[in-house]
């Protein structure tokens, strides 16, 4: 979320975005480094063909600097690299993307947003009365196990008979530890508001839910003590619980779209969608995963084009990327669909607020 907030506020000449698929394991991730070098060479050529050497130099300096800092042995499913004359940063993503390089007046953020808001993204809190661990997951794969405040150890735990002589005494100690865990969870996830699945004994689940600041984030639990289990095995089990919940949620979103269609509270024309979003009328934008559309802006009208070359400031590499950012800036949400649910809408539909 922090990176998204940074890049979406930047508007400048020649913002470079490199988006490409990567690999988690050796020797495949060694090829990622080679592919990235090729993308960097491609970027340098494109910039040099259009701009002066003096203009290109600081961009390439920043790009090469961030590329040199990447350790590919930690790669996930994909990576995004951003660079211009004043800024450079990268992030790994747990989703597959369409490999591409983009040079525009803004950075390409769609895949960053998709990874953050995907139905397949969630946290798993592994909790016992002695320890707590927090794992970020995507589908059946581990994104990362958080460090820093995690792993937490319960230093409040005691064998003092006087403190454990009553059930109330035990409960107070347990809930105090769980309260500290919950505070650290909220700090760790910050604005990345993903659902949380608890892996803990049933008795602990009810204690934790009682003290949790944001109970609505907690979607269920897996019974058992998994303190010593590997993150990979925990997420493998967690995904079996998450999958039916996600399918149920997706089915509800499709019904929401169908209802909007029956009531005439939706748009599917690209120009109408763009104009409605500009005025904050969009409640939910449904986008077919992998759908891109370059356009030329002509006043309030957008002209679809197959060109991938930027001929003027009026050219936008991907209007869908702009629509996503605009929808979210007005408090709307974005749903990425993987099936054929949007086929009759030409891969794009907007639910209106009114």
Distance CA 143, CA 178 (A): 24
Q: Measure the CA dihedral 79/85/87/91, to 10°.
A: 0
Q: How far is CA 181 from CA 5, 139, 185, in A?
A: 27, 24, 6
- Please, where are the H alpha helices in 264-318? 270-278
pLDDT value at 1 more than 70: no
Superfamily of segment(s) 264-352:
Ribosomal protein L30/S12 (3.30.1330.30)
Q: Which residues of the chain are in CATH 3.30.960.10 domains? A: 2-117
85-89, 134-138, 271-275, 290-294: lowest mean pLDDT where? 290-294
- Give tens-digit pLDDT for 173-195: 888 899 999 999 998 887 677 89
Q: How far is CA 133 from CA 95, 188, 192, 201, 225, in A?
A: 23, 11, 17, 14, 12
Distance CA 310, CA 14 (A): 11
Q: Which residues of the chain are in CATH 3.30.1330.30 domains? A: 264-352
What's the mean pLDDT in 14-20? Answer: 97
- Give tens-digit pLDDT for 118-148: 778 999 999 999 999 999 999 999 999 998 7
What's the mean pLDDT in 233-253? Answer: 91
Assigned fold of 2-117: 3.30.960
Domain 121-248 architecture: 2-Layer Sandwich (3.30)
Q: What is the pLDDT of residue 31?
A: 94
- Give tens-digit pLDDT for 98-123: 899 999 999 999 899 888 877 789 99
Q: What is the pLDDT of residue 148?
A: 77
């Amino acid at each position: 979320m922090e990176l998204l907030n940074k890049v979406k506020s930047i508007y400048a000449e020649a913002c470079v975005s490199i988006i490409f698929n990567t690999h988690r394991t050796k020797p495949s991730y060694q090829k990622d480094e080679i592919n990235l070098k090729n993308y960097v060479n491609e970027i340098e050529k494109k910039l040099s063909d259009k701009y002066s050497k003096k203009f290109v130099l600081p961009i390439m300096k920043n790009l090469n600097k961030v590329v040199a800092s990447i350790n590919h042995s930690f790669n996930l499913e994909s990576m995004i690299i951003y660079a211009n004359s004043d800024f450079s940063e990268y992030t790994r993503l747990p989703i597959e993307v369409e490999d591409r390089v983009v040079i525009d007046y803004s950075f390409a953020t769609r895949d960053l947003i998709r990874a953050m808001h995907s139905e397949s993204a969630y946290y798993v809190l592994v909790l016992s009365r002695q320890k707590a661990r927090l794992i970020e997951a995507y589908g059946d794969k581990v994104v990362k196990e958080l460090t820093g405040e995690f792993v937490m150890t319960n230093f409040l735990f005691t064998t003092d008979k006087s403190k454990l002589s009553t059930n109330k005494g035990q409960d107070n100690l347990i809930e105090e530890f769980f309260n500290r865990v919950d505070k650290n969870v909220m700090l760790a996830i910050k604005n990345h508001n993903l659902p949380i699945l608890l892996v803990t004994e049933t008795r602990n689940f009810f204690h934790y839910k009682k003290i949790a600041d944001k109970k609505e984030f907690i979607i269920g639990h897996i019974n058992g003590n998994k303190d010593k289990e590997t993150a990979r095995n925990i997420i493998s089990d967690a995904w079996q619980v998450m999958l039916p919940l996600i399918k149920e949620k997706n089915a509800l979103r499709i019904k929401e779209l169908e209802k909007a269609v029956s009531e005439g509270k939706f748009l599917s024309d690209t120009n109408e969608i763009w104009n409605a979003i500009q005025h904050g009328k969009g409640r939910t934008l449904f986008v077919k995963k992998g759908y891109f559309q370059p356009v030329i802006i002509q006043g309030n009208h957008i002209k679809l084009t197959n060109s991938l070359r930027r001929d003027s400031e009026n050219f936008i590499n991907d209007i869908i990327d702009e629509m996503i950012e605009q929808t979210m800036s007005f408090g709307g949400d974005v749903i990425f669909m993987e099936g054929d649910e949007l086929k009759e809408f030409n891969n794009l539909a907007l639910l209106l607020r009114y």
